[in-house]
Amino acid sequence: MKYSIIIFLLIKSVLISQVPIDYKLSTKNKLNRFENITEEGLSSNSIVDIRPIDESYLLMSTGSGLSYVHIYDLHPDSVSFGSFDRDSLFLQNSGSLPEGGAPALAVKENIIAISGIEDITAVTGKEIMGTGISYSIDEGENWDYLHQPIDEIPESGQHHTISWGGQDISVLAVTTEINNISYDLAIGGNYIYAASWAGGLRRYGPLYSEQKKWQIIPLPMDSDSSLICGAIDLETYELNPKDPVNSGNHNHKGFSVYVDNDTVWTGTANGINKGIIEGNCINWEHHYTTKWNNISGNWVIGFTNQKLGDSANRLWAITWAGEGNNEKHALSYTDDGGETWQITSPSRESEKVYNLYANENRIWAATITGLYVSEDGEHWERYSRPIDTLTGEEILSESVLAVYSQDNWLWVGTFDGISIIENDTITTIHRFWEQANPFSAYPNPFLIPNPFLINDYNQVDGDGHVRFIYSNPENDNSSIDIFDFAMDRVIQLSNTHLVNNNESEVIWNGRNEYGNKVANGVYFCRLSLNGQTYWTKLAVVN
């Protein structure tokens, strides 16, 4: 993968403190409809989000970009997977989706929007950067690409002035894509809203106008409970996403956004903001924090709206612990538009939730320890780790990143592929990789020796796991011997099973025949099959 995903939400677990140097990306382009330009399979086995276009198509944001699922019939064998082929796009000179992984995906009626993120090497070391936003206003028939929203370098100093609610507001200029990542997108009215961390909250539009452009949206300062159009104290207010110790505000670091008619909900590194759209301005009537309100944590990762009946709505917020001593990772929800908040935790512990999906009867929580479901928001049940009921194939990840319910199907996205749970019982697993040639080790068969991060990769019950895949169309008996650098055998593996019609799989947990974790180093792996032997290398890193 071009983008290494130890999930976007975990890479920057500390808050940024400054906005670095200027950086430029490409300009607006066009893209054709996805069926015509895709490759077979998902672009990555790390599934970050799942959104429906209609009953026949689901879009999936992944660790390597945008993919889709075509559903022919509600049967696990009646689906096909595809991904946008960026290389073909460049060869055809027809445009692009954002490079790298896809941290945000929004779909509403005929509008689709997706953002990008990528690792880069800068003068400050290894950094992450936003790679832009692509959107379609006709269900994917045509696309427009926008570079990551940044500001022009001021003629003097670091600030520039914007007009907001009839006032001139001082804004720190964000002149780089580094740490300026659109972690969440929302579609509201005629605009695309982007919560972009160092870039704060912005919106692009009006979408059906020739004058569409990016607009900066000021948010309350950390110490403010509201920010009303035309009534901002210009002597004290400054829009600044730096840390408070550097005269900035955590509440100006955008991380999530949700739009419901004329109401905008924005999550930041310092709580939840509720705004009411008034013409071209937004009145931020409430700024909710752990200090002032009953939410579990000030780092707000996402929102989900749950319709409980004809007129009742419950707004869910994923609220992680920020810097406060009394904060914890949990869920916070309101049934009265933010007047009061309740806290619940699927595991009853402080636990990071990555994603939510809700219908009128249930709420599902994708968390660091698995998938949970509740009918009332207070009592939760945990699903077992997905194992394919026909093949024995399993998801080697306790964490769940995304979930979506469709009729009797439950789509579960993880670091290690996607599973379909039918009627809460029958499980089918889908995972994609390059064909074994003829004997390969995954995580990355293209690197020799292949790095196996034993404490990070495919964690289950405290063990990391690596897969050996090899061509075996007849399902013949086989075994794999693992040797250390001195060519002493550390273990023999024979627990093989078919993963498709032509290939077999063996899983290793990085332990020797005595149950001990092997040491750091390069290991030689020998496949014995039909009187033939095949070799590959594996570098184990503890």
Q: What is the dihedral of CA 449, 452, 453, 455, to 10 degrees?
A: -150
Q: What is the pLDDT of residues 67-97, one digit of tens each?
A: 999 988 766 668 889 887 554 443 233 447 8
3-state secondary structure of 163: strand
pLDDT bin (cut points 50, 70, 90) of residue 466 is: very high
Under the banding of pLDDT at 50, 70 and 90, the label for residue 35 is very low
The per-type count for the chain, helices as H runs and strands as E runs, is 2, 41
With pLDDT > 70 as the criterion, what percentage of the chain qualifies? 88
pLDDT digits (tens, 9 = 90+) for 419-462: 999 988 888 998 887 776 788 888 765 555 678 888 888 899 98
CA distances, 511 to each of 63, 174, 481, 485 (Å): 28, 48, 13, 15
130 vs 153: CA distance, rounded Å: 18
Region 223-237: mean pLDDT is 96
For the stretch 134-166, pLDDT in tens is 999 988 777 889 999 999 999 888 999 999 999
Does 105 have pLDDT greater than 80?
yes
Q: Select the more confidently predicted residue: 287 or 123.
A: 287
> Does the pLDDT of residue 296 top 60, yes or no?
yes
Q: Which of 360-364, 376-380, 471-475 has the lowest mean pLDDT?
A: 471-475
β-pairing verdict for 478-483 and 111-122: unpaired
The SS3 assignment for 510 reads coil
Domain ranges in the chain? 439-541
Long-range interactions of 450-456: CB distance < 8 A, separation 24+: 450/536, 450/537, 450/538, 450/539, 451/539, 451/541, 452/510, 452/538, 452/539, 452/540, 452/541, 453/541, 454/510, 454/517, 454/518, 454/540, 454/541, 454/542, 455/542, 456/6
CATH topology of domain 439-541: Immunoglobulin-like (2.60.40)
Q: Residue 432 has what pLDDT? A: 83
Average pLDDT of the residues in 310-318: 92
Rounded mean pLDDT of the chain? 86
- pLDDT average, residue stretch 241-270: 96
